[in-house]
Amino acid sequence: MEARFLLGFLLLLSLSSFAFSIYEDQVGLADWHKRYIGKVKHAVFHTQKTGRRRVVVSTEENAIASLDLRTGDIFWRHVLGKNDVVDQIGLSLGKYVLTLSSQGSVLRAWNLPDGQMVWETDLQISNPSNSFLHVLGNVKSGRDSLSLVCNGGSIRAVSSIDGLVVWKNDLSIDGLKLKHVFQPPESDTIYAIGFIDSSQIALYHINAKTGELLKHATQASSVDLSSETSAISSDSLVVLDSSRSNLLLIKFTAGIITYHKLPLSDIVQDFSGLAELIPTKSNDIFVVKTPSGVAFKKVKGDNELELIGKADQAGIVSDSLTLSEEEQAFAVVHHSNNAISFQVRINGREVLTEGIKIEGHRGHVKRVFLNNYVRTDKSHGFRALIVMDDESLLLMQQGEVVWSREDGLASISDAVVAELPVEREGVSVVEVEHTLLEWLKGHMLKLKGTLMLATPDDMAAIQAMHLKSSERNKMTRDHNGFRKLIIVLTRSGKVYALHTGDGRIVWAHLLTPLLQSERCPSPSVLTLRNWRVPHRKALQENPSILLVGRCGAGSESHGFHLIIDSYSGKELETQILDHSIAEVVPLPLADSSEQKLHLVIDDKLNAHLYPRSSDSLEVFIREMSNMYYYKVENAKGFIKGYAFKKGCSTGSSAYCFGTRELWSVVFPSDSERIVATARRKINEVVHTQAKIMTNQDVMYKYISKNILFVATVSPKATGGIGSTAPDEAWLVAYLIDTVTGRILHRVTHQGAQGPVHAVVSENWVVYHYFNLRAHRYEMTVIEIYDQSRADNKDVMKLVLGKHNLTTPITSYSRPEIATKSQSYFFTHSVKAIAVTTTARGITSKQILIGTIGDQVLALDKRYLDPRRTANPSQEEKEEGIIPLTDTLPIVPQSYVTHTLQVGDLRGIMSFPANLESTTHVFSYGVDLFYTRIAPSRTYDSLTDEFSYVLLLITVVVLIVAILVTWAMSKKKDLQEKWR
Amino acid sequence: MRNARTKFILIQFIFNLEEINKRHITTSREVNVVHQKKPLSSPLVSSNLVRARPDWFLRSVNNFRLSTTSLSILLTMNPSLSLLFLLSFLLLFSSAVSFQSDELLLNDNDEFEGARSSPGPASVTPPVRRRPDLDISSASDSKSVQFSLEHSLGDSEFSVAGTFTARLKSWTHGGQTLTKLRFTRNAISDAEKGLFERLLKDDDFYTIRIPSNVLNPSGKDYVLSSVRARCLPRESLDEHFVIHTDGVNVLAVNYGSYGGCHYPRPLKSPSKWSFSSYTVLKNSEQAPRTPTFVEQIIASETALEEGLQPPEKSFWAKYWMYILPLGFVIMNAMAQAMNAAGEDQNQGGQPSQRAPAVRRR
C-alpha cells in the first residue's frame, strides 16, 4: 500500500516537472525585457502633416525602427539579421519606408504607421556592390512614384505602390559606377552620372517613364575619381580625387561635360591632411571638412568659389537639410569637456548656437542628423538626433537633451556577474514608502486575488504593486542571491552594470577615452573578467572587474588592463602593458587579498601573470607544474597544448613565463575543418559523481574540468546547408583532454554538417547540427562514464578500504571510459546554446536553446538522456526515463521568454542564485531579457503567491475555534456537574 | 551469515585468479620486448614466426593455470555447478592442446601489435570512415610504409627513437588506410639514459612526436605528445601509444604509461633500461543513426499530454500538508493546556472523563 502510494507520488513528481511555465499574472515578476535598436547609421524624419512626430532609423545591428520624437519610444522595429545589412533607407509616397539591403539586392517597403511590410522585391543583381537608392519625387505615373536603385552600372525603377520593377536599364559598360541620379523639376529625363574605371566621367540621359537611354557623353579626366562626390546643383558636381587633396568641379551643360581642377590648398586656408566632402543637395553649395575646420563654399559662375562661412574647429557636420529652394541648413557639433556646442548654419551663416551639457560617460559625438520644425512664432526651429561614442542616441532641442536611449546595450560582447553590497546594520536602504492605509489596501487586494474575487482592474493593480515592490530592486545583497549586478561590455567599449531586479543601469562608463593616449592610439576592450570576488579574507573589500584590451587593431599591438570597482564603476587601476594580448586565462587561484590570478598570453606565446605581486607569484609558482594551457587554431586546423616554464623569450620579468609545447592534434586539412569548440564552465559545481541506474547499479561520471569538445566538418560541408551532397559531408566530434591531448572519444556523423552549437557540462556534451540525410536538425548527447571506478560499488571493498575513491585523479593515467550516446531530431535551428547552473549542482539541468525565432527554450536534460528506450520498464519509468522518441518535443510552456522575443539573439548566460533550486538566465542580442528559472521547481522555498495572510487567518480561525470549543466544553462540564 | 562467508571465499579466489593473470602478463611483456629489440633489418615474416611459438606456449600455460584454479574452486561447489565447471575446464584444456598454426596471415584485421596479450581489450574498430559498406577483401593493394618516432628528453632537440612499420591498404573505392602497425624501439644510449635520469629527477616531460602525414614525413607538421617522465618506469619503461588515424593522416598520438600515474609521483628508476611498448591504432567510430519511429505522432501526442499542466490548485490543496500538522500541534497544545486546567479543577475530585481520551489520541 505504502509502496503504491510512493510510486504514485513519484510519478506525480516526474510529471509535474515536465511543465515549467508561469501564469499570466506572473509575467514581469522576476523577468524583464529591454528593447534597443543599436547604433544609428541612417535617420529619416517624418514630421510633416501627421500628428505623430516620428523618426525612422536604420542601425548597424541591421534594425529598422520608428521612434517617437517626443519620448524616444519605439513604435515598431524590425531586426533584419546579420546577413541582411541595411544600405539605405528612404521615404516614399509619405506613407512607406523603403529599405535597401543586402548590398542593394533587396528592396522592401514598410508601412510607416505600424511597420508592417507592404512589399518586398528581390532586384536580382548579379554582382552586388555599393549601391544607392534614389526616391524620385516628381515622376508621377498616376498616383505612383518611382524609386531608382543604382548598382554599379545598372538602374532599376521600382514602383512604390507594389514593388514591381517598372523598367531596368543595364548600361552594359564595364567598370561603370553610377554616383548620382537627379531629375530636373518638371522634366521627363533622368540624368545619371558615373565614373568609368575612376578615370572617365560619364553622363546618361534616361527617359523616366520607360528607362530608354536617350543620350550619353563621356569625358576623360586627369585625376583619379574614386572618392566622395557631392551634387551641388542640377548640372554640376563636386568630386574629391583619390588623394583627397584636389577638388574637381564638373559641369554638364547641354550634354557637354566640362571640369575644373581646384587644389584644396587654394580653397581652404592652411590645408593639410585629408579632406572630406559632406553630401549636400543643390544650391551650388558644398561643404569641405578638413582636419582644421569646416568650410562652406558656394560656386559662382563657371569656376569661381566663394567662402560663405566657416567653422574653425573641426566638428561633426550633419547632412544638409533643405529648408527652401534657396536655403540649406547644416548642423555643426563641437565637443568640449562635458558639453557640446551645437550650431545650425543656413547657407553657411550661423543662425543658432547652443551649448548642451552631456554626461561624461557618453564620449564624443559621432553622427548628427538635423531636422527642422516650425515654431509657435512661425520661425524655423531645429532639433537634432545625436549618436555618441557609446552608441547612445540623444534628441536635442532648444538647448536640452529631450531624451536619450542607451542603444549601446544592443551590442553586448561579454558579460560577468557581480554581487551587490551587503546590507549593513543601521543603514536603511529602502525608503519608507508605505503608509498604513496603503499597506492595508494592498493586502486587501492580495486577499481578493487569492480568493479569486478580484476584477481584471484589481489584478492589474496587484501586478503593478508586485512590480513596484522595492524588495527586488534594492541595492543590497539578498539572502536568496536573486539580486545581483550583471556587468556587460559593449562593442563600443562601454561597461554597464545592470540590476537583475528590473534591468536598470546602475552605472555606466565609457572606457576608451580614459585610455586614449599617445601610447594607446585606438583602444578597444576585448573582454572582462571578475578580478576580485570578496571571500573569506577580503570580505570588506569591494569586488572588482578586470577589463583587458588592445591599443591597436593588430594582434601584435600593445595591450592594456583596467580594473574597475563593481559597486560604483570607478576606475581603480589602469596600465598599458608592454606586451600584446592574445588571450586571457583566468586561473582557479587567488592571492591573499582575494584577487584572482590571471595569465595573459601574448602573441609570442609567453604568459604574463597578473596581479603583479610577490604574493601571487608565490601562489602561481607553487602550482605551476600543474598548469597547462591549450590553444585552438581554427584556421590552421590544429590544437596545441602547452606547459609553463620559468623565463620568457621577450624579457626578464619575474612575472613572465615561457611556454613549452607538450602535445598537438593536427586535423588533416583535406578532410576536416574545426567549426566549433566548447568546454565546461570553469566554476561549474557537480554535486555527485555517481549515477545510480535502475538496476541499483552505480555508474561513475567521468568528471574532468579539462574536457574540450571539438567538432570538425569536411571542407565541402563548411558552406550553407544544401551546398553539398550528404556523401561528401561528415561531422566528427572529439572529446579531448586538454592536459595530455588525449582523444577520449571520437565519433563520425556521416551526412551531417554545421553550423554546430555545443554545450559541455558535468560529464556530458550536447551538440546541435544538421543531418543532410534526414533533412532535419539533430541534437546528439554523449555521456562519459569512468570505468576505472566501476568496481567501487562493491560494499565489501568499501568496508575493507580497497576502493580507489580517494586516489587523486590524474590525466596521465590511461582513462578507462565508456560513452553512451543518442541522437534526436530537433525542429529548430539554434542561435545559441547554454545550460542552467545552480549553486550546488543538485537541481536537474535544463538546456537553454536560443531558437531561430529569437526565443529561449528550456529543454529538460532528461529528454537528452542516452538511456531512453522505446519501452522503458516500470523501474525505469519510476526513475524518470522518458520513452524514446526520435524527436525532441517542444512544449510551448517551456519557453522561458514566454511571449517575448530577444531580437537577434546572440548569447545566453546562466548563473546560480544562492537558492539551490533557482538559476538566473540572461540572454542578449539587440534586446536584453532576464529571468529566473527553477528547473526542478522551487522545492526549497515557498512560491511568491504563497498567501501569508490566509495562513494567518487560518491560524487565527483555528485558535478561535479551539477557544470557543474549550469554553463550550467547560460550560457543558459545568452543566453536567450541576445535574 | 554463512552466505556472506562463502561469498568472501569466492572473492578471494577470483582475486587469486587475477593475480595469476597479471603475473602472466608481465612475463609475456618481457618476451615481447626481447623480440622488439631485434635489429630493424630482420625480415618481418621471420620475426613473426619466431613470435608465434612463445605466445602459443604462454597461452597454454595460462590455460593450465586457470584450470588448476578452477579445480580448486570445484571443491567448494555443489555438484551441478561443479559439473559445469568441469565441462568448461575440459573445453579450455582441449583448446590449449589443439594445433596452433604459425602461418603469417596477411589479411588478418589485427591492428595492434604488442598489445595482443594485454588484459583489457582495447576498443579497436575497423576503418569504416566514409566507406561503411566496404569489406576487407576489397583491398586491392597493400604496401609497407615506415615512419619514425622522434623523442625529446627535456629541452633537447628531437632525435629518432624508433620506427613504426605499417601496411598501407589502398581500397578500390579510393583512399588508403593504415593497418598492421608494428613498432621497433631503438636501444637507449647512455647519453639518453643520463638525460632520462635527469628528467626523472626533475619530474619533467618526456615528449615524442610522429609526422602527421606518414606518406610524406618530410612535412613540417608533427603530432606531439608528452608525459611526465616519472609515469613511465615500472620494471622497465612501460609506454603505451594510441595513434588516432584518419586514412593515412595521423590526427594525434596519445602517449603515456600503461597504468595509472597519480599525482605525488615518487622518484623511481626502472630496473631495466629498455622500453616495453604497446601500440594501438584507432579509427573513428560511426555514430549510430537516429532512431525513427512510425508511431512518432502518437508519441508526440502523449508527450504533449504529459506536458499539459495540471489545473491550478487552490490554496488548501497546495499547502494542506503544512497547515494540517500546524493545526494538530495547536490543537494538541490547547488540549494539553485544557487538560492541565482540568486537572487543576478536578484536583482531589473525580477524574475527568475527557482527559484520558485526549491522551489516547
How does pLDDT run across A87-125, given as a tens digit for each residue? 888 888 778 888 888 887 888 999 988 889 999 988 877
**Is pLDDT of A849 > 90?**
yes
How does pLDDT run across A386-398, given as a tens digit for each residue? 999 889 999 988 8
Mean pLDDT of B285-310: 60
**Is pLDDT of A654 > 90?**
no
How does pLDDT run across A438-459, given as a tens digit for each residue? 777 777 887 887 777 777 777 7
**Is pLDDT of A411 > 80?**
yes
Mean pLDDT of A262-266: 74
How does pLDDT run across A543-578, given as a tens digit for each residue? 899 999 888 888 788 888 889 988 888 888 888 888
* Mean predicted lDDT score pLDDT of chain A: 82
Of A434, A414, A684, nearest to A526 (Cα)?
A414
Complex prediction ipTM: 0.76
Beta bridge partners of A609: A599
- Tell me if A810 and B207 make a contact (CB, 8 A cut-off): no
Q: Do the Cβ atoms of B34 and B51 come closer than 8 Å?
A: no
Residue to test with chain B: of A885, A888, A939, most B Cβ within 10 A? A885
Predicted pLDDT of residue B91:
46
Predicted pLDDT of residue A37:
92
Predicted pLDDT of residue A944:
65
Q: How far is the C-alpha of B152 from the C-alpha of B154, rounded, in Å?
A: 6
pLDDT band for position A468 (50/70/90)?
low
Predicted pLDDT of residue B124:
38
Mean pLDDT of A822-838: 92
Q: Do the Cβ atoms of A247 and A240 come closer than 8 Å?
A: yes
Mean pLDDT of A627-642: 90
Asked which of A214-218, A659-663, B20-24, B296-300 is least confident by mean pLDDT, the reply is B20-24
A521-535 b/e with 16+ CB inside 10 Å = b?
A: eebbbbebbbbbbbe
* Contact list, B323 vs chain A (CB under 8 Å): 951, 954
- Tell me if B262 and A813 make a contact (CB, 8 A cut-off): yes
pLDDT band for position A425 (50/70/90)?
low
Predicted pLDDT of residue A424:
65
Phi and psi torsions of A910, nearest 5° = -125, 130
- A502 vs B33, more confident: A502
Sheet containing B176-185: give its strands across. B176-185, B159-171, B139-153, B205-211, B222-228
| Residue whose entry in the numeric block shows the C-alpha cell 591492428 | B111
**Is pLDDT of A293 > 70?**
yes
Q: Do the Cβ atoms of B127 and B283 come closer than 8 Å?
A: yes
- Tell me if A747 and B293 make a contact (CB, 8 A cut-off): no
Q: Do the Cβ atoms of A566 and A485 come closer than 8 Å?
A: yes
Q: At what angle do helices B79-97 and B44-74 cross, to 10 degrees?
A: 160
**Is pLDDT of B128 > 50?**
no
CA distances from A939 to A13, A762, A842, A850, A936 (A): 11, 22, 12, 26, 7
Q: Please state whether beta strands A321-322 and A316-317 pair in parallel, antiparallel, or not at all (unpaired).
A: unpaired
- Tell me if B263 and A808 make a contact (CB, 8 A cut-off): yes
* Contact list, A959 vs chain B (CB under 8 Å): 330, 334
What is the percentage of chain A residues whose pLDDT exceeds 70? 88
Show Cβ contacts of residue A311 under 8 Å, excluding neighbours closer than 6 positions: A293, A294, A332, A334, A343, A345
Beta bridge partners of A821: A782
Show Cβ contacts of residue A674 under 8 Å, excluding neighbours closer than 6 positions: A632, A634, A637, A639, A667, A710, A711, A712
DSSP A540: T
Mean pLDDT of A290-309: 76
| Residue whose entry in the numeric block shows the C-alpha cell 551546398 | A723
Structure-block grid coordinates of residue A292: 582644421
Sign, CA dihedral A38-A44-A46-A47, equals positive
- Chain B neighbours among A 99-138 (CB < 8 Å)? none
Predicted pLDDT of residue A453:
75
Mean pLDDT of A457-462: 78
Predicted pLDDT of residue A640:
92
Mean pLDDT of A157-175: 81
- B361 vs A442, more confident: A442
Mean pLDDT of A366-385: 86
* Contact list, A886 vs chain B (CB under 8 Å): 290-293, 296
Predicted pLDDT of residue B110:
38
Mean pLDDT of A289-294: 77
Mean pLDDT of A80-86: 85
Predicted pLDDT of residue B354:
44
Predicted pLDDT of residue B347:
52
**Is pLDDT of A686 > 70?**
yes
Mean pLDDT of B222-230: 88
The minimal CB distance from B223 to the residues A18, A666, A885 is found for A666
Mean pLDDT of A658-663: 90
Calculate how close chain B gets to A796, using CA atoms only, in Å.
Answer: 9
Mean pLDDT of A214-223: 77
Q: How far is the C-alpha of A711 from the C-alpha of A729, rounded, in Å?
A: 13
Q: Identify the burial level of B98 via C-beta atoms within 10 angstroms of its C-beta, where 0-12 means exposed, 13-18 middle and 19 or more buried.
A: exposed
A761-786 b/e with 16+ CB inside 10 Å = b?
A: bbbbbbbbbbbbebeebbbbbbbbbb
Structure-block grid coordinates of residue A675: 567549426
Q: How far is the C-alpha of A260 from the C-alpha of A179, rounded, in Å?
A: 18
Confirm or reject contact between A741 and chain B (CB < 8 A).
yes
How does pLDDT run across A879-929, given as a tens digit for each residue? 788 888 888 988 888 899 988 999 889 999 999 998 899 999 999 999 999
Of B278, B249, B110, B241, nearest to B180 (Cα)?
B110
How does pLDDT run across A475-487, given as a tens digit for each residue? 788 888 888 999 9
- Tell me if A887 and B300 make a contact (CB, 8 A cut-off): yes
Asked which of A815-829, A907-921, B17-31 is least confident by mean pLDDT, the reply is B17-31
**Is pLDDT of A473 > 90?**
no
Sign, CA dihedral A652-A656-A661-A665, equals negative
How does pLDDT run across A572-581, given as a tens digit for each residue? 888 888 888 9
Of A520, A590, A602, nearest to A562 (Cα)?
A520
Predicted pLDDT of residue B217:
65
Look at residue A376 and give its three-state secondary structure: coil
Q: Do the Cβ atoms of A17 and A937 come closer than 8 Å?
A: yes
What is the percentage of chain A residues whose pLDDT exceeds 90? 24
Mean pLDDT of B325-339: 88
- Enumerate helices (H) and strands (E) in chain A, giving the number of each: 9, 64
pLDDT band for position A13 (50/70/90)?
very low
Q: How far is the C-alpha of A242 from the C-alpha of A198, rounded, in Å?
A: 9
Of B186, B185, B167, nearest to B177 (Cα)?
B167
Calculate how close chain B gets to A937, using CA atoms only, in Å.
Answer: 13
- Tell me if B291 and A743 make a contact (CB, 8 A cut-off): no
* Mean predicted lDDT score pLDDT of chain B: 63
**Is pLDDT of A340 > 90?**
no
Long-range CB contact pairs, B98-107, < 8 A, 24+: B100/B52, B100/B56, B102/B49, B102/B52, B102/B53, B102/B56, B104/B45, B104/B48, B104/B49, B106/B142, B107/B136, B107/B137, B107/B139
- Tell me if A966 and B290 make a contact (CB, 8 A cut-off): no
Residue to test with chain A: of B206, B207, B251, most A Cβ within 10 A? B251
- B228 vs A967, more confident: A967
pLDDT band for position B266 (50/70/90)?
confident
Asked which of A264-273, A338-347, A523-532, B40-49 is least confident by mean pLDDT, the reply is B40-49
Q: At what angle do helices A948-978 and A436-450 cross, to 10 degrees?
A: 80
Phi and psi torsions of A748, nearest 5° = -110, 130
DSSP A895: B
Of A572, A579, A519, nearest to A543 (Cα)?
A572
Of A730, A744, A817, A749, nearest to B244 (Cα)?
A744
Mean pLDDT of B128-138: 39
Give one DSSP letter per residue of B266-279, joined into a string.
-----SS-SEEEEE
Predicted pLDDT of residue B64:
43
Q: Do the Cβ atoms of B251 and B244 come closer than 8 Å?
A: yes
Q: Compute the residue count for chain B.
A: 361
Q: Identify the burial level of A147 via C-beta atoms within 10 angstroms of its C-beta, where 0-12 means exposed, 13-18 middle and 19 or more buried.
A: buried
pLDDT band for position A143 (50/70/90)?
low
Q: Do the Cβ atoms of A234 and A181 come closer than 8 Å?
A: no
Predicted pLDDT of residue A496:
93
- A371 vs B135, more confident: A371
- A346 vs A348, more confident: A346
Mean pLDDT of A302-321: 77
Predicted pLDDT of residue A588:
87
* Contact list, A671 vs chain B (CB under 8 Å): 246-247, 249
Specify the pTM.
Answer: 0.77
What is the percentage of chain B residues whose pLDDT exceeds 90? 0
Q: Please state whether beta strands A236-240 and A246-253 pair in parallel, antiparallel, or not at all (unpaired).
A: antiparallel
Q: How far is the C-alpha of A522 from the C-alpha of A553, rounded, in Å?
A: 8
* Contact list, B338 vs chain A (CB under 8 Å): 966, 969
* Contact list, B155 vs chain A (CB under 8 Å): 660
Of A582, A528, A574, nearest to A558 (Cα)?
A582
Q: Identify the burial level of A304 via C-beta atoms within 10 angstroms of its C-beta, where 0-12 means exposed, 13-18 middle and 19 or more buried.
A: exposed
Q: At what angle do helices B315-345 and A948-978 cross, to 10 degrees?
A: 30
Phi and psi torsions of A649, nearest 5° = -80, -20
Q: How far is the C-alpha of A701 from the C-alpha of B360, rounded, in Å?
A: 52
Predicted pLDDT of residue B125:
37
- Report the run of H or E that residue B303 belongs to, with start and end: helix B296-307
Mean pLDDT of B234-256: 86
Q: How far is the C-alpha of A845 from the C-alpha of A843, rounded, in Å?
A: 6
**Is pLDDT of A935 > 80?**
yes
- A47 vs A762, more confident: A762
Sign, CA dihedral A254-A260-A266-A267, equals positive
Q: Do the Cβ atoms of A527 and A457 come closer than 8 Å?
A: no
pLDDT band for position A956 (50/70/90)?
very high
Q: Do the Cβ atoms of A358 and A339 come closer than 8 Å?
A: yes
Structure-block grid coordinates of residue A280: 549636400
Mean pLDDT of A451-478: 73
Structure-block grid coordinates of residue A432: 519608507
Of A147, A237, A238, A128, nearest to A190 (Cα)?
A147
Calculate how close chain B gets to A668, using CA atoms only, in Å.
Answer: 6
How does pLDDT run across A707-731, given as a tens digit for each residue? 999 999 998 888 888 788 888 899 9
Predicted pLDDT of residue A912:
93
**Is pLDDT of B193 > 50?**
yes
| Residue whose entry in the numeric block shows the C-alpha cell 523616366 | A208
